[in-house]
Amino acid sequence: MQSDKIVFTGMRPTGKLHLGHYLGVIENMVKLQDEYKCYFFIADWHALTTKYDKTEGLKQDIIDVATDWLACGIDPNKSTIYVQSLIPETAELHIYLSMITPQNWVERDPNLKDMAKILRSKEGFASQINYGLMGYPVLMTADILSFNADFVPVGVDQVAHVELTRDIARRFNNIYKTDFFKETQPLLNSCPLLCGLDGNKMGKSFNNDIKISDTEEVTAKKVMSAITDRSRMRKDDPGHPDECEVAFKYWKIFGTQTEIEKVQCECQKGLRGCADCKRQLGTKINEKFAEIREKRKYYETHPEIVEKILLDGSQKAREEAKQVLSTVRKLVKMF
């Protein structure tokens, strides 16, 4: 470990993760664990903000996320991996922070506005915005400040949350005349976003993703369904890699420089049909994930090991959070 700075990030338990998660965050997490003291957690309370009435699959979803993390190389001997709801100190911190957070700070949160719009378009009792969902960004702040983290690796969509964390931390420091909470910085990943097989944002609910856990056959089949250059009719027509909606974008992410140039050149000259191109691409992706998928099989068949890692990590994380909370209680002058 080269630095004692703290890196902290988490994911909601959405079940099995896709390649977008891998390239967007997990790969980065694996690197960071060699450089910093890392906490990686699964945000099961955050899942409840919208899925409080669908909790049957929650435990399995948590195990699935952890299984993917471990398969990808997140190492419990280097990082602390934990489950949010096993750290009640975070809930306590959430209470203190909620007392000092102006309501309009949470209302201006852009993600919350989006979620609210989606919810309002639905019918029935799930269409209202509950108190807990309003507090989503404050809970996220409590996660981060439970460990007084220095850096939070996140996607662009979460940067506003980290800014809010800083605002709340500053306000806490002002009110309680301290400099205890650090000014957390977001760490943006430079990796380009991997789009879904249909060219839109990759997402589980859009049915356009490739899972880390997909077999080679499923991956190959999914890649064959990827959108290419819509204006191209026959395979020996000259193609337009820059108008290729998915396949060439994937090549740019998964291929070597030489491969990318070869694909580009052959496509432009009409020497490479889209079907062949995607067959090769499928093979390429399968090669990249072969080792991870092999490792995943081990954890998948030993869920008790995954569970034990989460329980041990949570215990370790809790010890740290307890210390932070003990300071916070003193600063707030609780009984």
For ligand TRP, the closer CB: 10 or 273: 10
Torsion sign, CA atoms 200, 201, 202, 203: negative
User: CB-wise, 152 or 317, nearer to ligand TRP?
Assistant: 152
Q: Please report whether residue 18 would count as binding ligand TRP according to CB under 6 A.
A: no
Indicate whether 10 belongs to the interface with ligand TRP (CB under 6 A): yes
| Closest CB to ligand TRP among residues 158, 208 | 158
43 binds ligand TRP (CB under 6 A): yes
Which pair of structure tokens corresponds to residue 123? 């019918």
CA dihedral 236→242→248→249, nearest 10 degrees, is -170
Q: Does 143 bind ligand TRP (CB under 6 A)?
A: yes
Asked if 135 contacts 98 with a C-beta cutoff of 8 angstroms, the reply is yes
Nearest approach in angstroms of CB 327 to ligand TRP is 20
Nearer to ligand TRP, 70 or 152 (CB): 152
Tell me: does residue 152 bind ligand TRP (CB under 6 A): yes
Task: Say which residue the tokens 């707030």 belong to.
Answer: 332
Kindly state whether residue 94 participates in binding ligand TRP, applying the rule CB under 6 A: no
For ligand TRP, the closer CB: 66 or 154: 154
> Using the 8-state DSSP alphabet, how is residue 81 labeled?
E
Helix axes 274-301, 58-72, angle to 10 degrees: 110
The length of the chain, given as a count of residues: 335
Residue 204 belongs to what H/E stretch?
A: none
Spatial separation of the C-alpha atoms in residues 291 and 250, rounded to whole Å: 20
**Interface mask toward ligand TRP for 164-193; x: CB under 6 A:** ------------------------------
Rule CB under 6 A: is residue 25 a binding residue for ligand TRP?
no
Residue selected from 6, 11, 38, 227 as contacting ligand TRP according to rule CB under 6 A: 11
Q: Which residues contact 152 (CB under 8 A, 6 or more apart)?
A: 7, 8, 9, 144, 158, 162, 165, 184, 185, 186, 187
- Cβ closest to ligand TRP, residue 10 vs residue 20: 10
DSSP-derived 3-state class of residue 35 = coil
Question: CB 296 → ligand TRP: shortest distance, Å?
Answer: 21
The residues binding ligand TRP (CB under 6 A) are: 9-12, 43, 46, 140, 143-144, 152, 154, 158
